[in-house]
Structure 1
Amino acid sequence: MALVTMKRLFDHAMKEKYTVGAYNVFNLDTLVAVLQAAEKEDSPVIVQLSMGSRKYQPYFETFVRCVKLYAEAVHVPVGLNHDHCKTVENAKEAIDYGIPSVMFDGSHLPFEENVASTREIVRYAHECGAWVEAELGKMAGFEDEVFAESTQFTDPHQAAEFIRLTGCDSLAVSVGTSHGGVAGDSSLKLHFDVLEAIRSAIPESYPLVLHGAASVPEELVRAINAQGAHVPQMRNCTEADISASAAYGVVKANMDVDNHLCYSAAIRQKLGEITEKYDPRMYLKPAREAFETEVRHKMKNVSQSSGKNWLKENAE
């Protein structure tokens, strides 16, 4: 099946009150892991690329075509988004590469500059038939080499004004999650009062997005550290909080860190077991399977998207 639009993905998610998980991929193995997870869970999914994957992939435009080709091989709804474009030029380049949805992160800019840059991207994107996700409010943590020390919640009335002024198609809001988690002794809390106020201030069917929706559970950090890593334990919102956000019109949740923890832990473990072997497939396959298993867990237990394959419903 060819890629589907964000509008189709989000309309169904809004109606059925679930979120579509968005998972960053950087090579064919991680792409296959996400697509196989979606097929096995009969779930819609969003494949995400990033500025980091652009740096990692020397033939990035060809990789974009590969993503589209692989999406044709599966029988679930698949969307494609470029996450966290840092500049107007980044976003326009992504659209020119053939990516049908781009996310521009102007959250670090003053409100007026964020509006102006987002509006320029929206104008260009809509002329090309592309979707634009924007961001308002600051989240603590690192994202593609950009660091925010503290969280600044999205102002509900400012969100309504931002949507009106820019015409962006969906909005990532800051309501308590963080990029990669923050140091602390207990989980962060999703501020449902802020989320509800945002929901009340904007059009009823307008799609909202959560970034930093990976929960960074202790067992995943322990698992990778048991293989010789020294990853600090970070804290983020719980899976239960992320799941509950769907009731407020959150239709997309970016979940990345947990997948990377599983992928890297599996490689470390397998390399320790096959010290006399040198075939990369012997450790890359378990890593891909670990990535897939974690994505399946998110679909079943966090986004609640398992079994929501509306392509199958339409066929019937």
Structure 2
Amino acid sequence: MLTSMKNILEDSHKHYYGVMAMNCVNIEMARAAIMAASEENSPIIIQIGPKQMKLHGHKEEMYPLVKDLAERVHVPVALNLDHGTDYDVIADCINTGFTNVMFDGSSLPFEENLQKTEIICQLAHMAGCSVEAELGHVGMAVDDDDENFDLFTNPEQAKDFVERTGVDCLAVAIGTAHGDYPKGRVPKLDFERLALLKKTLDMPLVLHGGSGTGEENIKKAVSLGINKINVATDVCTVAKKAMLDEVEKNPKIDYVSMCIAAEKSMKEYVKYYINLIGSNNRFNFGDVEYHGHE
């Protein structure tokens, strides 16, 4: 069933496990994620960014698709707008039925980020939609932003931000970045900062740039309080490899068979990731609210 991301993350925060947030732009991706979650008895977050939504995964098609798939399974599913920056796009997604929106004001001055986040929270909460914000800045791996300590989240500043905005979860910058890291490099995460952020804020925390971060980094981040992990690049890489492998085996393969191979590979990857971050067998979904269990 489609539910608020807040419902999902409140439980993962309480019990220290992670929930996968997978960027999806078509039926193969969404179905792979949701069916994998169903088989693993895990919550799942489907998300899509404004650029992805504009180029390919239009909200007019993705919302009813995700809603229909969510209604077929017994596990909680949230639909999130990822990295929203434009007020009109965010408001449109709230009105469409997205169950969470992210306002990304991380590149703005602190006070401007705070004020705009507060406005988005007021608008979303009136519609029963939860809100994710970002403080600090998770930049691009190609620009080595994961090594720029000036972009990392300040715990005391974050506390002020959360208290004044009423945001439901916070994306923090602790040493990850979006996209592919240079070959052979695994990011070094600031776990001491993460532990302090969790203690100071006592709320669900989000890790952007989960792709390429490494199993040990991900597991330790979850153990210290990361509750939502965004994954896009790694899933796309898995799907692309599966399709290319099928073409190599049979150059005359038809397009539908390629899509089936891609979906199968993504589903297996999501199941692996769910077990990596500990969200398997974590739910008891009632008629209204999500209640996890140990």
CA distance in 1, matches of 2:275, 2:57: 34
TM-score by length of 1: 0.84
C-alpha RMSD of the superposition = 2.2
Mapped contact 2:168–2:204 kept (Cα < 8 A): yes
Equivalent of residue 291 in structure 1, options 238, 259, 266: 266
Mapped contact 2:195–2:225 kept (Cα < 8 A): no
Deviations along 1:139-179, whole A, 9 cap, x unmatched? 2317xxxx865241101111001112211111000011111
Q: Give the percent of matched residue pairs that are identical in Structure 1 and Structure 2.
A: 33
- After TM superposition, the structure 1 stretch with the greater mean CA deviation from structure 2, 28-37 or 3-12, is 3-12
Deviation of 1:207 (Å): 1.1
Deviation of 1:117 (Å): 1.4
What is the match of residue 7 of structure 1? 6
Deviation of 1:10 (Å): 1.5
CA distance in 2, matches of 1:315, 1:210: 21
Mapped contact 1:100–1:131 kept (Cα < 8 A): yes
Secondary structure, counterpart of 2:22 in structure 1: strand
What is the match of residue 92 of structure 1? 91
Equivalent of residue 251 in structure 1, options 227, 231, 249: 227
Secondary structure, counterpart of 2:73 in structure 1: coil
Secondary structure, counterpart of 2:72 in structure 1: coil
Asked if 1:210 is matched to 2:207, the reply is yes
What is the match of residue 236 of structure 2? 260
| Structure 1 unmatched runs, 5+ | 216-236
Higher relative contact order (CA 8 A, sep 6+): 2
Secondary structure, counterpart of 2:33 in structure 1: helix
| Structure 2 unmatched runs, 5+ | none
CA distance in 2, matches of 1:98, 1:300: 29
AA at the equivalent of 1:285? I
CA distance in 1, matches of 2:292, 2:179: 39
Q: Which runs of 4+ in 1 moved over 4 A?
A: 312-316
Deviations along 1:24-49, whole A, 9 cap, x unmatched? 11001111100111122121111112
Mapped contact 2:32–2:264 kept (Cα < 8 A): yes
CA distance in 2, matches of 1:245, 1:315: 20
CA distance in 2, matches of 1:127, 1:166: 14
AA at the equivalent of 1:210? L
What is the match of residue 311 of structure 1? 285
Asked if 1:241 is matched to 2:217, the reply is yes
TM-score by length of 2: 0.90
CA distance in 1, matches of 2:252, 2:183: 40
What is the match of residue 80 of structure 1? 79
Total equivalences in the alignment: 286
